[in-house]
Structure 1
Amino acid sequence: MQKIKKTIHFILIAMLMMAGGCQPAGVSEIRLKEAEKQLRGLRDAAATVNKNPRTTEKGEIRWITSSYDWTEGFWPGTCWMLFEDTKDPRWKEAAIRAQELFKAHKDLTTDHDLGFIFNNSYGKAFRVTEEEAYKEVLMDAAHALATRFNSNVGCIQSWDVDGGWQSERGWKFPVIIDNLMNLEMLFEASVISGDDRYKSIAVTHANTTMRNHYRPDGSSYHVVDYNPVSGEINARVTAQGFADESAWARGQAWGLYAYTMCYRYTSDRKYLDFAEKIAHFILNHPNYPKDGIPYWDFNAPDIPNEKRDASAAAIIASALVELSSYTGNKYLKDAQHIMNGLSSDSFRALHGQNHNFLLMHSVGSIPHGNEIDVPLNYADYYYIEALIRLKSKGL
């Protein structure tokens, strides 16, 4: 029955496409309604256990149970987006309940992922509700994140290196490309507080990363390790990619999204030009698949038999929709093409399946043997965000 319903859905979309061109007006709204219906099941399950979903493992939902998890902000962020889109108060209730679970983490100074966590949850909460309590949490998190900035390096330190697998690498001050995504919270903190200190840190980090993380072709290293005293580069390596000189797909996606975001907050043309350079690398790479869903690493050794990463595709799609807004819709068809691929039976789960996550076939970290070919909460987050951005354009 589910396959029949989904077949009818694609027939309707095909009819709209014949009537209206490549991408039918309103297809994103249809997909959003289907996604919201699917995620209700995950919402109900989360309410039952009072935990936030991250992925699946051994045929069951893997809930976030650790004291700190870099992905814990994505589920409440998804709930806030669906509340704003549907006005259904149950999504607001779910968002509030979910983000309360990690509110105390706002003051942690031992990790860089506070932007992922708090900008995507409490930041959205403040924008949607304008409640001062949410703004205060966001500002506390921004203050904590800013303590990790080192002016000698010009970056926010990503991982601490006094324990865990990071300590075994011999790193002194590692900065990962993912860290660019945390800058949005700092930009936003300056906007809502009037204190330009946060923006200054974000700009400096973005500029340092642009200078040291990127190759001439627009691809990025995953990790750059610095000397925290001199600011000199110790090494350029990978942690989650195939090799030090390869292009880890989600890392390329983070950079595309982040420099587009940097342009949004600064209007500095160099960020827009750089985002386009990254987009050109991704979209024109010889190993970029026809359906727009990248392999987990652009240089993985066994392409086309390597795992795909739907999370990277969703991030790229959402970024390209925003980038198109600054470039005369130049990248809009590319974003739509990726979303068509993600919304196909190959990547979008049938209703009630996939433990009510939306997307299948994402990759966390193949080198670590972690979360391979599974749904991920951040893949769904950026898929929903991309749909909402397309819907705002009437597509």
Structure 2
Amino acid sequence: MKKPLMITSLALLAGTFLTSALPDRFIRDQFKKAEAQTELMLAQVAEATKTQPVGKPALVSPRTLTDAGELHMVPARDWTSGFFPGQLWYLYEFTGRKEWADLARQFTARLESEKMNAGTHDMGFKLYCSYGNGYRLTNDPAYKDILIQAARTLSKRYKPKAGIIRSWDHNTAKWLCPVIIDNMMNLELLFAATRFTGDSTFYKIAVSHAQTTLKNHFRPDNSSYHVVDYDTLTGRVIKKNTHQGFNDESAWSRGQAWGLYGYTLCYRETKNPQFLKQAEAIARFMLNHKNMPADLVPYYDYDAPGIPNETRDVSAASVMASALYELSTYVPKSNYRAKADAVMASLAKTYTSPVGQNRGFLLLHSTGAKTFERDVPLIYADYYYLEALLRARK
């Protein structure tokens, strides 16, 4: 993969934004570039899906690039399938162009079957990023119905004795009932379902999961384990791991960002000060860590042994920036807005793809995990980057 070019028109030092908001011109320029790249990706998707796999689920959304630099497409059941439809909705939200709304509807419709998929916890990632944004922007009642069904399906994974929503069903020899920090991101769907229906069951499940995760996932320094395994009969914690980071006691960067985002949204929905306190504690851990680079784009793990020669995780940076923008609205006399602006300036300056390259991805140099998807573009990095730009503008 080619290294990103310096975009001279946006060559702004991260520190430039420590005392002022992102200029509207900066945001417009980034969305203009995003439109061009997404048009390229749409052409790549069309080419990649000309021949669908025989006897296997249809490929519906882009996820990353292969080692050979080809577009890697995934079926609807993949946890990342909702981010590209969400990206299209964000382009529509910013531009108002009907063409983007039509495309967003087209790619969103490919995921409807997932509303009944009780074998995954990733309903929020898949259906709230797609149908949730679609409903927010169009008020389409069919979208609301799909979201409600998705929330009902997700609720089936709730384990009352442990007070959590089960995450993975795989690796049963390793975990009895694993819960990953990522699952905090799926609670937004449940909160929305209570607003849509008036049924507080969804809300109570979300709050229970957030409170149990707060109790068991975090270390004294407010870093988070990736996986906590539960005995569902007693609620007892069996063990704690960090599956995608460096080791069990390390701080996997995107996991910290999921927690920051998750507790920020939980505070928005509940106004429970406990959740705001936790979000701020995670923000302090991330921003003040001795291994946080000066450009505020984390290494894939804060404790990776090869720092400063470890791979970065741009996806962790974009999730963190989006969360910090929202968190700044709840803590007005903080530096969260300035820090988010600095992250966005760094991403635009050093980590964006040149227009016309990388099959249409917006950002480069993300890392999925210690052992796979290292130093590649990832669709969720792009999604949260556009979300952060929209939040910066608001």
Runs of 4+ in structure 1 over 6 Å off: none
What is residue 256 of structure 1 aligned with on the other side? 260
What is residue 343 of structure 1 aligned with on the other side? 348
Q: CA deviation at 1:189?
A: 0.7
2:254 is the counterpart of 1:231:
no
The question of whether the paired residues in 1 share the 8 Å contact of 2:178 and 2:228 is answered with yes
2:220 is the counterpart of 1:216:
yes
Is there any run of 5+ residues in structure 2 with no aligned partner, and where? 50-59
Q: CA deviation at 1:5?
A: 9.7
Q: Give the 5 Å matches for 1:1-395.
A: 6-7=7-8, 9-10=9-10, 23-49=22-48, 51-57=60-66, 58-64=68-74, 66=75, 68-161=77-170, 166-169=171-174, 171-328=175-332, 330=334, 331-344=336-349, 346-366=350-370, 369-392=371-394
Is there any run of 5+ residues in structure 1 with no aligned partner, and where? none
Range 378-387 or range 100-109, more displaced = 100-109
SS for the counterpart of 1:364 is coil
Counterpart Cα distance in 2 of 1:6 and 1:113 = 35
What are the Cα deviations for residues 332-385 of structure 1, in whole angstroms up to 9, with x where unaligned?
1100111111111x311111111110000001122xx32111100100000000
Q: CA deviation at 1:48?
A: 4.9
- TM-score w.r.t. structure 1 length? 0.91
What is residue 55 of structure 2 aligned with on the other side? none
| Structure 2 counterpart of 1:76, one-letter code | P
Q: CA deviation at 1:25?
A: 4.7
| Structure 1 counterpart of 2:379, one-letter code | N
The question of whether the paired residues in 1 share the 8 Å contact of 2:69 and 2:358 is answered with no
Counterpart Cα distance in 1 of 2:157 and 2:283 = 29
Counterpart Cα distance in 2 of 1:320 and 1:389 = 10
Q: CA deviation at 1:78?
A: 0.6
Tell me which of the two structures has the higher relative contact order, counting C-alpha pairs closer than 8 angstroms and 6 or more residues apart.
2
Counterpart Cα distance in 2 of 1:26 and 1:215 = 41
Counterpart Cα distance in 2 of 1:268 and 1:5 = 43
The question of whether the paired residues in 1 share the 8 Å contact of 2:5 and 2:353 is answered with no
SS for the counterpart of 1:221 is coil
Report the CA distance shift for 1:5/1:304 in structure 2 as closer, same or farther (over 3 A).
closer
Aligned CA RMSD, in angstroms, stands at: 1.9
Counterpart Cα distance in 2 of 1:333 and 1:35 = 23
What is residue 52 of structure 2 aligned with on the other side? none
The question of whether the paired residues in 1 share the 8 Å contact of 2:244 and 2:369 is answered with yes
* Identity across the alignment (%): 45
Q: CA deviation at 1:102?
A: 2.1
Report the CA distance shift for 1:159/1:341 in structure 2 as closer, same or farther (over 3 A).
same
Counterpart Cα distance in 2 of 1:68 and 1:196 = 28
The question of whether the paired residues in 2 share the 8 Å contact of 1:288 and 1:298 is answered with yes
Range 203-212 or range 24-33, more displaced = 24-33
The question of whether the paired residues in 2 share the 8 Å contact of 1:43 and 1:94 is answered with no
Q: CA deviation at 1:21?
A: 5.2
Count of matched residue pairs = 376
Report the CA distance shift for 1:303/1:261 in structure 2 as closer, same or farther (over 3 A).
same
Counterpart Cα distance in 2 of 1:300 and 1:30 = 34
- TM-score w.r.t. structure 2 length? 0.92
